[in-house]
Amino acid sequence: MSKAFATRPFTLIETPIHRGGKDGSLDEFDRLASTMAVVHNAILRGLNSVYLQAPSAKAQSNRASFLQYCHKWYEVVHAHHSHEEAELFPQIERICGEDRIMSANVQQHQAFEGGIQMYAAYVEECIQDPASFQPAKLTSIIDGFGKELSTHLADEVENLRGLRKFGEAKGVEIHKAINDGGADQLKNAGLFGAVPFVLAAHDLEFEDGMWAHFPPAPSALLWLIRNVIWHVHRDWWKFAPCDSSGRMRELETV
């Protein structure tokens, strides 16, 4: 066995705040795009952790738990993109007063959605029969959509920055829509599944600890999740990029 952090094969996104904040020339669009980048990085870390650990998770004792962990990644990314298409993108278009300005992002979703659904179907099939799990098949499915997904997650951050042409006031409204939508998703997500997954895929020390207060949730709730709820399915979260304290950890790989 060797060890690796969940920073590959799909590259994490540097936030605009971290990239451009050294000269102080930041605006609301840099800030809102950075919020989205942090969310997208949780998705990428999660996918990396699945890809890297699939071969070592073949052991009988790990299969069932690993497959549940894999499915939580799907639940999170599916909920994120569904929310964007149904609520966030239409909100942005209303705020900016221009139709279809987010259509390129939706088109990118369509490019990899089939692969993600194939991933979900295979994981669900294996959950019913863990002995049938073939790591190479799972990583092959990810190879089929991972690059397109990774490119999209980075592109969307830059597309959001490009909305600055509509003015700073619109940026404030868009940022609020992003934050409100994120809060609603956390409320509606499974407290024992999707919510711990997001925390387990967010590195509190990323970019020198700049995002240590993410996600914006009551500290008492975050403490409860990390210290109590986490342990209900600790056999799932042992595959996560981060430990219960939010620090990146080395994952067992082959």
Q: What is the pLDDT of residues 119-170, one digit of tens each?
A: 999 999 999 999 999 999 999 999 999 999 999 999 999 999 999 999 999 9
Q: What is the mean pLDDT of residues 87-106?
A: 96
Residue 24: pLDDT band by 50, 70, 90 thresholds?
A: low
Residue 52: pLDDT band by 50, 70, 90 thresholds?
A: very high
Q: Looking at the predicted structure, is the pLDDT value of residue 45 above 70?
A: yes
Alpha helices in 189-218 (DSSP H): 194-200, 206-209
**10 secondary structure, DSSP code:** S
CA angle, residues 41, 30, 111, in degrees to nearest 5:
50
pLDDT at 22: 58
Distance CA 68, CA 233 (A): 10
For the stretch 198-226, pLDDT in tens is: 999 999 999 999 999 998 888 999 999 99
Q: Looking at the predicted structure, is the pLDDT value of residue 39 above 90?
A: yes
Of the listed ranges 23-37, 128-142, 226-240, the least confidently predicted one is: 23-37
Q: What is the pTM of this model?
A: 0.95
Q: Looking at the predicted structure, is the pLDDT value of residue 186 above 90?
A: no
Q: Tell me the three state secondary structure of residue 243.
A: coil
